[in-house]
Chains A and B, each alone.
Chain A
Amino acid sequence: MKITLDADKCCAAGQCVLIAPEVFDQRDEDGVVVLLDAEPPADQHDAVREAAAICPAAVIEVQA
C-alpha cells in the first residue's frame, strides 16, 4: 500500500487521525494532515482505506 496526500485541500477535520492514528497526524498550528507512514504495514490497511473513504475533503489517495 502506498498513500499520497493532497494536503492543500485538507480541511483539518482530523477524522483520519481518529481512525488511523499510527498513519496520520495533524499539524499543531492549523490542523492540516501529516503523513506519518506512507507505506503502512498490512494491519493498518483497513483503517487507512476507511480514513480515505471518510475524509470530507478527498485528500487521501491509496494505491494498491
Chain B
Amino acid sequence: MTPRPIAVVGACAAGLAAAEALRRSGWTGPLTLIGDEPHLPYDRPPLSKQLLHGTWEPERLLLRTKEQLDPLGLDLRLGTRATGLEVAARALTLDTGERLDCAGVIIATGVAARTLPGADALTGVHTLRTLDDALALRGRLAGDARRLVIVGNGVLGCEAAAVARELGHEVTLVGHDPVPMAAAVGTAVGELLAEEHRARGVTLRTGTVDGFDTDGDAVTAVRLAHGGVATGGRGEGDARLPADTVLLAIGSTPAVGWLGDDPALDTTDGLRCDAYCAAAPGIYAAGDVARWEHPVHGRPLRIEHRMNATEQGMAAARNLLAELAADGADAQERRPFAPVPYFWSDQYDLKIQAYGPTAGADRVETPVLDRAGRRVLALYGREGRAVAVLAAGLPPRQIRALRAVVATPLPWDEALTRIDTATATG
C-alpha cells in the first residue's frame, strides 16, 4: 500500500513554511502542496508596495525558485483548488475530481478580498490580494495620472495610497473611520499617518460607499451615503467622488467556504484551532485563515500578518508530525503556538513596526509622539496589562528591545517603566 501523503492546502507563505518544516522535521513520506493560484509560492507584502510601484517585477516576489523547491520532493498542484475535506477520514477532494486520502492535512488557504455588490462587473474597480490583482491595478496606474479612489483606510488602503501618490495619481482615501488605520493601531498613531498622507496630497474622506456611477461598464464615480464628510473639519463634501480607478481595500474573508459545514470544524471567522494549531485530529491550520487559542493572551487570535504565516506554518507542521509519531520511539511533544505577533507597514518613508496584538486594545498611550520628527512609540493595553507596542522612527536596537516588553503581558505601569529603559539606551 502506498503511504498516505501529508497535504498542505495553500501554496503561499504559510503553506510553504509548513512544507519546508515537515521535511526539516523528518517527514520523508509523500508531501502534496496544493495552491489555487497558478504561481509558485510568492510573497504578498510587496504587492501593495514594490510590485505596485513597479520597482520590483513578479519574479522578485517568489519565495523560492524552482531549483530551491526541487529538494523538497513536493507533489506540487498549482492552479488546483481543494473543494472539500472529510475530517474523520482526513480525505481531501480537489477540483480535478480527485480524492486524496491523507495522513494529515495543514490548511493554509488564507483569506479572500471583500468586494462590493456589482463591483466585479465594472472596468476600473479593483481589489488587491493576489499577484494577478496587483498586476492588473499596476497596469491601470502605469500611464497618465488617474483619479483613484481607495475605499477602505486600513493598512492595505494606506499603503496603496502612498504608492499611488508617489506615482503621481490623484488619490482620495475613504474610510468608515475618520482616522486611517485606527482599528489596527489606535487614533494617535492613525492621526500621525493621516497628517503624512495629507502632506503628500492624499484627500481623506469619511463615509460609507453607497454605489458606483458608471458610463457603460466603466466606473466614473464612487457614491457616498449621506454625502460623506471631508476629514479634517472642512464640512460636508460632495456625495460623489469622481474616479476612473477604484481600489476596494475593505478587508477580507477567511477562505473556509470549501470546508463545508462539517460539525467537527468551527469556521466562524476562520478555522478555529486549539493552542497547538489543531482543528481536529490530524487537521491543522496556519496563517491568515487560522483562529487559534493563543496560550499567553488567553483568547483566540487570527492574525493576517506575514510573520505569523511563516511561524504558524512551521508550528503546525511540527505539531502535526508530533501527533502522527505519538506512538513511535522518537516521539516529540506537541508545543503550544505562542508567538509574539509582529507586523510592519511601509508608507512613504515611514516604517511602522509593532509587536503584540495591537488590535482589540482598550487603552493606548504614546510615550513618544514627535510629529515633526515622525517618531512615535505607542503602548497598547487590554484588561490592565500591556499587550503590544508600536514604533516608528526609532533606532533598530531600541525597536528590538521593545519586543521583550510585551512578550509576556505585564501590568501597565511596569511595562511603561520598561519602555523608558528600553528607549533610554542605545
Q: Chain A 5-26, CB within 8 Å of chain B: the 1/0 string?
A: 0000101111101100000001
- Complex CA gap A17/B401 in Å reads 11
**Residue A15 contacts which of B307, B395, B397 (CB distance < 8 angstroms)?**
B307
- Min CB distance B264 to A, Å, is 31
For this complex, 8 residue pairs linking A to B, each with C-beta atoms less than 8 Å apart, are A12-B353, A13-B307, A26-B397, A28-B396, A31-B396, A53-B17, A57-B45, A58-B64
Q: Chain A 36-64, CB within 8 Å of chain B: the 1/0 string?
A: 00000000000001000110111000000
- Chain A interface size band reads 10 to 19
- Complex CA gap A31/B396 in Å reads 5
- Chain B interface size band reads 20 to 34
A31 B20 Cβ-Cβ under 8 A:
no
Contacts of B341-396 to chain A: CB distance below 8 A = 342, 344, 346, 351, 353, 395-396
**Residue A14 contacts which of B20, B63, B396 (CB distance < 8 angstroms)?**
B396
Instruction: Let me know if B403 is at the binding interface, CB within 8 A.
Output: yes
Closest chain B residue, CB of each to CB of A9? B60
Residues of A within 8 A of B32 (CB): none
Closest chain A residue, CB of each to CB of B306? A56
Closest chain B residue, CB of each to CB of A17? B400
B21 A53 Cβ-Cβ under 8 A:
yes
Instruction: Let me know if B159 is at the binding interface, CB within 8 A.
Output: no
State the 6 A-B residue pairs at the shortest beta-carbon distance, nearest first. A26-B396, A31-B396, A56-B306, A56-B307, A14-B400, A58-B63
A13 B43 Cβ-Cβ under 8 A:
no
Instruction: Let me know if B399 is at the binding interface, CB within 8 A.
Output: yes
B351 A12 Cβ-Cβ under 8 A:
yes
- Given that A28-B395, A31-B351, A53-B21 are contacting pairs, would A11 and B314 also be in contact in the complex, using a CB cutoff of 8 Å? no
A12 B310 Cβ-Cβ under 8 A:
no
A12 B344 Cβ-Cβ under 8 A:
yes
